[in-house]
Amino acid sequence: MLALHLSDLRHLLLLAIALVGVSSTIVAQSVPPPRPWPANPFTPLTIERIAALPSSERSAWENYWNASEKLAAVLRSRPQADRSPLQPNDGLPKGGTYTKGLRFDGQESWYSSDEARAIADRVAVAQTPAGAWAKGMDYTAPVDEVRRSAADATGIFDNNATIYELRFLARVISAVTASAASPAWHDSFNRGLKYVFAAQYPNGGYPQVYPLAGGYHDGVTYNDDAMVHIIEFLRDIVYERNGTGFASSEIREEATTRLQLGVQCVLKTQLKNAEGHLTVWCQQYDPLTLKPSAARNFEPIADASKESASIALFLMSLRSPSPEIIAAVDGAAAWFRYTALQDLKIATAPADTRGRAISSPGAPPIWSRFYEPGTSTPIFGDRDRTIHYDLNEVSKERVAGYAWYTQAPAKALSAYGRWKKAL
* 273 & 366 share domain: no
Q: Indicate whether 57 belongs to any domain.
A: no
Of 267, 293, 319, the residue that ends a domain is 293
* CA–CA distance, 399 with 404 (Å, rounded to integer): 8
CB burial class (10 A; 0-12, 13-18, 19+) of residue 120? buried
Q: Is 37 within the bounds of a domain?
A: no
Q: Helices then strands (H, E): number in the chain?
A: 14, 12
Q: Stretch 337-345: mean pLDDT, rounded?
A: 97
Confirm whether 62 is domain-assigned: no
22 and 92 fall within a common domain: no
The 3-state secondary structure of 204-221, one letter per residue:
CCCCCECCCCEHHHHCEE
Please give the residue range of the domain that contains residue 121. Answer: 69-293
pLDDT-derived band of residue 23, with 50, 70 and 90 as boundaries? very low
Domain count for the chain:
2
pLDDT beyond 50 at 72:
yes
β-bridge partners, 292 = 285
Q: Single out the residue in 268, 293, 318 at which a domain terminates.
A: 293
Q: Where are the beta strands (DSSP E) in 291-363?
A: 292-293, 303-304, 344-346, 357-359
Helices 163-175 & 226-239 angle (0-180, nearest 10): 30
Same domain, 140 and 254: yes
275 and 420 both lie in a single domain: no
Prediction pTM value: 0.90
356 is known as an active-site residue: no
- In this structure, what DSSP letter does residue 392 have? G
CATH code for position 372:
1.50.10.20
Give the SS3 label for residue 293: strand
pLDDT tens digits for 76-117?
766 677 777 655 445 555 556 778 999 999 898 999 999 999
In the prediction, which pLDDT does 109 show?
Answer: 92
- Domain for residue 64, yes or no? no
Both 6 and 112 in one domain: the answer is no
What is the per-residue DSSP string for 189-202? HHHHHHHHHHHS-T
CA separation for the pair 184, 196 (Å, rounded):
18
Residue 27 pLDDT > 60: no
How much is the pLDDT for 90?
52
Among 252, 274, 293, which residue terminates a domain? 293
Do 279 and 141 share a structural domain? yes
13's CB contacts (< 8 A; 6+ apart) are 377
Identify the weakest region by mean pLDDT among 45-54, 93-102, 206-215. 93-102
User: Is residue 100 helix, strand or coil?
Assistant: strand
Would residue 237 count as lying in a domain? yes
Residue 55 lies in a domain: no
* 268 and 200 inside one domain: yes
Buried-state track 142-152, b at ≥16 Cβ within 10 A, e below 16? eeeebeebbee
Helix (H, G, I), strand (E, B) or coil at 331: helix
Same domain, 250 and 112: yes
- 296 catalytic? Reply is yes
Residue 181 pLDDT: 79
Q: Are 207 and 221 in contact (CB under 8 A)?
A: yes
Query: Is residue 302 located within the same domain as residue 279?
Result: no
Per DSSP (E only), the strands in 205-343 are 220-221, 284-285, 292-293, 303-304
Q: Which of 159, 160, 203, 297 is catalytic?
A: 159
The DSSP bridge partners found for residue 109 are none
- The answer on 17 and 77 residing in a single domain is no
Q: Which of 126-135, 176-185, 333-342, 400-409 is least confident?
A: 176-185
**Catalytic: which of 78, 83, 296, 356?**
296
What distance in Å separates the CA atoms of residue 256 and residue 262, rounded to the nearest whole number? 10
Q: What's at 99, amino acid-wise? A: T
Same domain, 89 and 236: yes
In a domain, 45, yes or no: no
Closest by Cα among 186, 185, 135 to 162: 135
If you write DSSP's letter for every residue of 333-344 in order, what string do you get? HHHHHHHPBPSE
CB atoms within 10 A of CB 171: 22
Q: Tell me whether the omega of the peptide bond preceding residue 211 falls within 30 degrees of 0, making it cis.
A: yes
Does 250 map to a domain?
yes
Task: Verify that 14 and 135 share a domain, yes or no.
Answer: no
Measured in residues, the chain has a length of: 423
Nearest C-alpha neighbor of 387 from the set 301, 272, 308: 301
- Residue 370's closest CA among 287, 290, 289, 280? 280
Does residue 420 carry a pLDDT above 90?
yes
Q: Kind and range of the H or E element at 406?
A: strand 405-406
